[in-house]
Chains A and B, each alone.
Chain A
Amino acid sequence: MRTQTKAALGIGAALAAILAALIILLVVNPDGDEPAASAETGEDSVLVRSDSHVLGEEGDSGVTFVEFLDFECEACGAVFPVVEQLREDYSGRVTFVARYFPLEGHFNSERAARAVESAARQGEFEAMYQKMYETQSTWAEAQVPKDDVFRGFAEELGLDLEQYDADYASEEVLARVRKDVADGESLGVQGTPTIYVDGELFQPESVQDFYDTLDEALAK
């Protein structure tokens, strides 16, 4: 056999093996399509971990509104003001939980999540979360690191910058963000925002949908 033929066969075999592996992964994997339709919401469930960040105060009805979010995602930025309004309108009744789900396609989204988590370590989760969305249009969609911008936010919030820098760079904070991502992935979350109301996957089409769904959950 000619060397060229052997080489072609070798490369061809490697190609076939990789392709077959990818196809098998895609076909065999059942939860590749949609996020799980519903999930447990009890204490320390995949949806709400004991260390998950609650926005504001916990509600007393037991109804939870869990959002897997990406600070760089435009759709999340669009949902942000709605959620802020909901938090006001359902304050004290519904528990709003934010889960990190930085998407790979966004250059700065994991950095943003680390910045927010670093702020959370100084008790400023909510302020930093709001800051990220309020300023999203100024830093999102870039292909260069925005560490300095985020550090600027930390400074504006009056955080201890030495501590912030240490947290921002720490393995621990990164692991905390990735843990949320892993929970999301285990539910089959693929995009953001993915929202669960009372453990049920909620796919809103209008702002009114948010109110209808929450009212319904509260009426139960």
Chain B
Amino acid sequence: MVVEPDKHRRQRIPALNIKFIILICLSFLLLITDQKNNYLSLLRNSIAIAIHPIQAIVDLPQRLWHWTGENLASREDLLIENKKLHQEQLYKEFTLQRYASLEQENIRLRKILNAASNIKNSVQIARIISVDINPFRHLVIINKGEQDSVYNGQVLVDANGVIGQILQTNFLSSKAILISDTDHATPVEINRNGFRTIAQGNGSFTHLIIPFVPNNTDIKVGDLMVTSGLGGKFPAGYPVAIIDSISRDPSQQFANVTARPIASLNQVREVILININ
């Protein structure tokens, strides 16, 4: 233990009680302000910038591992991968040819209907730099911030489907909430018949809850749910989840429906930010 000459001077910590009371009041004020409104983003931002180097250091080994993996892959593997990607590219281009004409047709039809066409969105790729910061929440931190014109409420997708939305922006990084967070609900519709509902997160990466589905709704296991664009946060038409279980109990008003998110929420490293404006 620490050797200190306690006999000569009895240790007294100066103004301990007063300090305690002042600081407790201060943190109470902070709590209330942070809960009610968004005045504290500057304070949060400055602390986040101070921590950013540490976060980068923590992320370093993982990045190094990835880098080594990429650089030490054998030539044969690379050739095989190259070939595979080439084939995939061909296939995608083939699909895109049809997509181009479909897009034109869609714009024409929308003009007839006098609706705004909102098909082209500009995108930006970001990397997730830290994931399990709080076991209570499904939040991630990405490496793009206000500097890269990321804004609050911006939508995150991966190659397969919707991941979440930006909750809070800092200067160099921003925090995003995943669709599986207990506090998050995504407005969705069933792609097959346009039935509108919401997909609620319940803290599990593999399940979303679809509440308030009446027993007689036309809904099947395997139905694709896409964002409906209602609520104004998520642009319409991005895939969210696939229905994986339905249990109908005649004594209950609503069926118990769960869906499996299409995006692999706990495995992605690169995410795509969609810019609606």
Are A and B co-members of a single complex? no
